[in-house]
Amino acid sequence: MHITAIQGDITEQRVDAVVNAANSSLLGGGGVDGAIHRRGGSEILEACKQLRASEYTEGLSVGQAVATTAGELPARWVIHTVGPTYSASRGRSDLLASCYRESLRVADSLPATSVAFPAVSTGVYSYPVDEAAGVAARAVREAETGVELVRFVLFDERTYRAFAAELGQR
Ligand code: AR6
């Protein structure tokens, strides 16, 4: 598997699947979630509402992942995952690792072989960037998956540097 980090906007990525740092409601929010729904159009929200009406009436649990259409984004699918808040201290690193692992498992089921991830939990959910980068890099490296390309797409330079350092990328 090829793993890389770039600084950029995840809504512009031409990959099979982009991952959304969603919340349990699946009904949108701010940050990367807001950007994905805004750029991807109403089809994504419609698909999320259908999930809430069928398999996910209670919402999506922290650490889990589920796919929808990517609407008007250049990607084919959006994989929604729910990161832990940093303040929910119990098991947070395992839950964050689970977001990456479960997203790759969902990617395999589509099947998607190229996946772009944002820095899940490091915005509104306040996970420290260096810690989150370590968890993310380890989870992806250790995942058993058919995904061939993982691209971490980091919005700001500080976050990009943390992920690049963790991947040994300069
Ligand atoms: N492309 C890539 N990364 C982005 C983009 C973008 N277009 N926009 C923001 N980021 P956050 P969380 C970065 O807050 O911490 C939402 O309201 C951002 O700078 O989006 O998991 C959800 O609905 C940060 O580095 O996600 C949930 O309620 C990273 O993406 C809650 O926020 C993650 O920040 C989830 O919080």
Pocket of ligand 1 (CB under 6 A): 9-11, 21-23, 29-33, 35, 83, 118-125, 153, 155-156, 159
| ipTM confidence | 0.98
Q: Rounded mean pLDDT of 113-126?
A: 98
**What would the pLDDT profile of 72-89 be if each residue is shown by its tens digit?**
999 999 999 999 999 988
Q: Say whether pTM exceeds 0.90.
A: yes
Say how many Å lie between the CA of residue 111 and the centre of ligand 1. 25
CA 132 to CA 9: how far, in whole Å? 19
Checking if the pLDDT of 170 tops 80, the result is: no
CA 147 to CA 115: how far, in whole Å? 7
Which pLDDT belongs to residue 98?
Answer: 98
* Band (120; pLDDT cuts 50, 70, 90): very high
Amino acid sitting at position 45: L
Q: Looking at ligand 1, which residue's alpha carbon is closest to its atom 8?
A: 32
**What would the pLDDT profile of 33-80 be if each residue is shown by its tens digit?**
999 999 999 999 999 999 999 999 999 999 999 999 999 999 999 999
Say how many Å lie between the CA of residue 156 and the centre of ligand 1. 11
- What kind of fold does domain 2-166 have according to CATH? Leucine Aminopeptidase, subunit E; domain 1 (3.40.220)
